[in-house]
Chain A
Amino acid sequence: MTARYLIIENIHKTFTQGQTSTPVLEDVSLQVERGEYISIIGHSGCGKSTVLNIVAGLIPASSGHVILAGKEVNSPGPDRSLVFQNHSLLPWLTVYENVALAVNKVCRHMNKARRHEWILHNLEMVGMSHALHQRPAEISGGMKQRVGIARALAMEPKLLLLDEPFGALDALTRAHLQDEVMRIQAELNNTVLMITHDVDEAVLLSDRIVMMTNGPRATIGTVLDVDLPRPRNRIQLASDPRYNHYRREILAFLHQRQRKVEPLHASSPPGERAADSRAARSA
C-alpha cells in the first residue's frame, strides 16, 4: 500500500470577525497522489481559495490536518510554492531578480554559478528569456504570470499551488499558458493543486476535479476522475465525447445540484471577500 503524497484531513475553517463567526469549510478531506494534477472548482464564495491558503499554510485551519510527504503543514514554506492570480511579482525587481530572490533564498545548496543557471533555466522553460531585465510594469499580464510560474517552479516545490492562475488573462493568452503548463507538468511531473472556475480549463488540465458545494459550510461535493490520455490537445478534445461528457458532469454539478442563488449569499465570508478584493485590485 503506498502512502498518499498529500493528505487533507477533516479540515474545518470558521472565520471570526468580532461577534459574528462564519463557518466557511466543513469537513474537507482529500488525498492526492504524487504527480497528480488536481483542480478545485466551485462557485465564487465557496471557500476554494481558503482550502488552497490552508494547504499553503498562509491561514490556519480551525481543525483538521494537512500532511505533505509525511509531514504536517502548519506554516508557509517553499516546498508548497504558490502562483497567485495577480502574479504577485515585486514591481521594483526585474524579471530575473524576482526569480533570483526565490532561488537565492531556497536553493542554498547550489553555488552562485549554478543558481544563476537555474534561474535562467526556469525562465527559459516559461519562454521569458527575452525579458530578463525588464520590470513587471513593462511586460504583459500573460508574461507576468509566466514569471510567477517560473518563480514557483524554481523553488522545486513538492506541491505546486495555483490560485486561479489564468483568471485575469484574456482567452487566447489563457489557452496558450494552459498548454505551456501542461507541457511543463508532463516534463517535471509536479504535483499540482489548482483553483479554477473555468470548466474547460479544469477538464483539460486535471487528472481529477474536486467539485465544491456552495458555502457557507462548503465541502467536497463530488470528485470526478478525468480519464483522458496525455498529452492532451484542446482541438482534438473539442470533438471527443469523453471530454464533453466530463464537461457536462461539471456543468450539471455547478448549475443544477449546486445552483447559486445570489441573493441568499449576497455577503460572502471574510476570507473570500479578501481574496475577491485582491483580485479586483489586480484587474
Chain B
Amino acid sequence: MSIPGMNQTGAGEPAPTAMHKHWERLRGVLLDTVLPPVVVGGLLLLLWELLSTQSGSTLPPPSRVVADTRELIVHPFYNHGGNDVGMGWQILASLERVAYGYLLAVIAGISLGVLVGKSTWAMRGLDPIFQVLRTVPPLAWLPISLAAFQASNPSAIFVIFITAIWPIIINTSVGVRNIPEDYQNVARVLRLNGWENFTRIMLPAAAPYVFSGLRIGIGLSWLAIVAAEMLIGGIGIGFFIWDAWNASMISDIVLALIYVGIVGFLLDRLVALLGRLVTRGTAV
C-alpha cells in the first residue's frame, strides 16, 4: 500500500534535488566571484562619473566615453583604408606582432635555457650577460633595432622578442637544473639518447618552471607592444592610442585602454591554461 507512494517520491525527488544543487552551486559562483567585482566596478564608475562631470574636468565621464565611441564599439571590424580601421583590426595587428616576436622568444628562450641549465660552462659564460641585458628597458632596444632592420615591423617584433626572452631563458634554465636526479637515473638506465632525454624527461620535468617563464614573457610582450607601436606607427592598438591623443579623442583612448587590459588578461589566462594542460600531474 505504501509502496506506490514510496516509488513516487523515489522517482520524483532526485530531479529537483539535482537542479536545486546545480542552482546552489551557480548561486555560490555568482555571489563569490561575479558579485564583488561588479559592485566595486560599479562604484568606481560612479565615482569617475561624479568626478569628471564637475566643471573644469579634463577627462570625459564614462557616459561620454560610451556615447563618443559607440561607432567603434558596434563596428569593431570596419575598414576605411589606411590607418582608419576598426578596433578589432588594430588589436589583431598588435597580436600578430606579439605572436611572431613571442614565438621566436619561446623557441630561442627554451633552447638557450636548456643550454644554460645543462652546461656549467655555458652558464658561467652566458648568465652574467643575460643578467645585464635583461634589465635594459624594452623601448631602449627600438632605435638599435630600427637601425639594424631599417623597417618598422621587424623592429617591433624584435622588441617583443628581446623583451619576452629573458624570463623564458632564466626559468627554463632553473627548471632544467632542478630536474631530480632520479629522473636522470631512469633516463640513464633506459639509455635514452639525447633527443629522447630532452623530449621525454627534461622538457616535461622542467615544464612547470618553463611555463611560469612563458607566462611572465607573454605579459611583458603585451606591455612592450603598446609602447613600441606608439613609436613605429601604422596599424596597431599602440599607435591607435597615440593617434587618438594627437586628435584629442580622449574617449577613444579610454576605450583602447580597456581593450588592451582585457586582451592582456586573456593572453595571460591562455598561457596559464596551456601550462595546466601540458603539465598535468607535474605542477605540484
Stretch of B16-24, B52-60, B180-188, B260-268 that contacts chain A: B180-188
Q: How far is the CB of B179 from chain A (nearest CB, A)?
A: 11
A105 at the interface (CB under 8 A from B): yes
Q: Which residue of B188, B192, B281, B282 has the most chain A CB atoms within 10 A of its CB atom? A: B281
A283 at the interface (CB under 8 A from B): no
**Inter-chain residue pair count (beta carbon < 8 A):** 62
Q: Which of B164-205 contact A (CB under 8 A)?
A: 180-183, 185-186, 188-192, 196, 200-201, 204-205
Q: B204 contacts which of A75, A78, A90, A105 (Cβ < 8 Å)? A: A90
Q: How far is the CB of B157 from chain A (nearest CB, A)?
A: 33
B280 at the interface (CB under 8 A from A): yes
> Quick check: B183 and A88 within 8 Å, CB to CB?
yes
Contacts of B282 in A (CB 8 A): 91-92
Q: How far is the CB of B207 from chain A (nearest CB, A)?
A: 7
Task: Please tell me the number of chain A residues within 8 Å of chain B, measured between CB atoms.
Answer: 28
B129 at the interface (CB under 8 A from A): no
**A33–B250 Cα gap in the complex (Å)?**
87
Contacts of A278 in B (CB 8 A): 181-182
B31 at the interface (CB under 8 A from A): no
> Quick check: A92 and B281 within 8 Å, CB to CB?
yes
Q: Which of A266-283 contact B (CB under 8 A)?
A: 274, 278, 281
Mask, B250-284, CB within 8 Å of A = 1, is: 00000000000000000000000000000111101
Q: Which residues of A contact B (CB under 8 A)?
A: 56-58, 75-78, 80-82, 84, 86, 88, 90-93, 101-102, 105-106, 135-137, 155, 274, 278, 281
Given A92-B280, A137-B281, A77 contacting B189 (CB threshold 8 A):
yes
Given contacts A77-B191, A92-B207, 11 further A-B contacts (CB under 8 A): A58-B188, A76-B188, A76-B189, A77-B189, A80-B189, A88-B183, A90-B183, A90-B204, A90-B205, A92-B282, A93-B204
Contacts of A58 in B (CB 8 A): 185, 188-189
Residue of chain B at shortest CB distance from A85: B182
**Chain B, interface SS category:** helix
Given A90-B204, A91-B282, A278-B181, A105 contacting B190 (CB threshold 8 A):
yes
Residue of chain A at shortest CB distance from B196: A105
> Quick check: B182 and A86 within 8 Å, CB to CB?
yes
> Quick check: B279 and A92 within 8 Å, CB to CB?
yes
Q: How far is the CB of A140 from chain B (nearest CB, A)?
A: 16
Q: How far is the CB of A71 from chain B (nearest CB, A)?
A: 15
Contacts of B204 in A (CB 8 A): 90, 92-93
> Quick check: A105 and B192 within 8 Å, CB to CB?
yes
**A84–B190 Cα gap in the complex (Å)?**
14
Residue of chain B at shortest CB distance from A161: B189
Q: How far is the CB of A115 from chain B (nearest CB, A)?
A: 14
Contacts of A84 in B (CB 8 A): 182, 185
Can you pick out 5 interface pairs between chain A and chain B where the beta carbons lie within 8 Å of each other? A82-B189, A84-B182, A90-B205, A91-B282, A155-B190
In order of increasing CB-CB distance, the 6 nearest A-B pairs are A88-B182, A76-B188, A135-B281, A92-B204, A92-B282, A76-B189
Given A84-B182, A88-B186, A76 contacting B191 (CB threshold 8 A):
yes
Q: How far is the CB of A279 from chain B (nearest CB, A)?
A: 11
Contacts of B189 in A (CB 8 A): 56, 58, 76-78, 80-82
Q: How far is the CB of B205 from chain A (nearest CB, A)?
A: 8
Contacts of A80 in B (CB 8 A): 189
Contacts of B192 in A (CB 8 A): 105
**A191–B181 Cα gap in the complex (Å)?**
26
Contacts of A106 in B (CB 8 A): 190
> Quick check: B191 and A78 within 8 Å, CB to CB?
yes
Residue of chain A at shortest CB distance from B189: A76
Contacts of B196 in A (CB 8 A): 105
Q: A137 contacts which of B201, B205, B284 (Cβ < 8 Å)? A: B284
**A90–B204 Cα gap in the complex (Å)?**
9
